[in-house]
Amino acid sequence: MKRYARNEAAIAALTPEQYQVTQQNGTEYPGTGEYLYHRAPGIYVDIVSGEPLFASADKFESRCGWPSFTKPIATGYVSERRDASHGMIRTEALCARCGAHLGHVFPDGPRERGGLRYCINSAALRFIPIDRMEAEGYGEFLDQVEGR
């Protein structure tokens, strides 16, 4: 399994919203994320480290205002921790490699696909289309992308 390092140059290049979401545990406004209605085949990687996070085949429409996925692309790429901020108890989703905040995990996803909903900020992601996956070093995940 290839691992990706935290990239200080990538952090410096983040937009203010991307920085606020990934480095300060922020949340983009619902319904505004670039990948909310995105449907192309490929994978979503962490914007800071390049760590592969989610496959487009696991994306679904949850009507929550953020991109939603049923599971991470592979075990160990997304870590979780208890989040008691804002007067709620939630499960925070983070990039396991660099610790960037991604969003939250909820137990209200499609039951037939495991029952989880990874509610992820578009600002924490970069999309790699299927036709660029091999060239960008993500060929090992091609079998998880529809249209292959």
Q: Coil, strand or helix: which one is 130?
A: helix
- Please indicate, yes or no, if residue 55 is contained in any of the structural domains: yes
> By C-alpha distance, which of 99, 121, 128 is closest to 31?
121
| pTM assigned to the model | 0.91
Q: What angle do CA 1, 10, 127 make, to 5 degrees?
A: 60
The CATH number linked to 83 is 2.170.150.20
The answer to whether 119 is a known catalytic residue is yes
- Annotated catalytic residue: which of 64, 95, 98, 119? 119
Number of domains in the chain: 1
Q: How many CA atoms lie within 13 A of 79 on its CB side?
A: 11
- Please indicate, yes or no, if residue 36 is contained in any of the structural domains: yes
- Contact predicate 91/80, CB 8 Å: yes
Q: What is the pLDDT of residues 106-143, one digit of tens each?
A: 999 999 999 999 999 999 999 999 999 999 999 999 99
Confidence of residue 33 (pLDDT cuts 50, 70, 90): very high
- Please indicate, yes or no, if residue 3 is contained in any of the structural domains: no
- Please indicate, yes or no, if residue 146 is contained in any of the structural domains: no
- Please indicate, yes or no, if residue 2 is contained in any of the structural domains: no
- Please indicate, yes or no, if residue 106 is contained in any of the structural domains: yes
Which residues are CB-contacts of 77 (< 8 A; sequence separation ≥ 6)? Answer: 51, 52, 53, 95, 96, 97
Task: Tell me the residue range of the domain where 29 lies.
Answer: 8-141
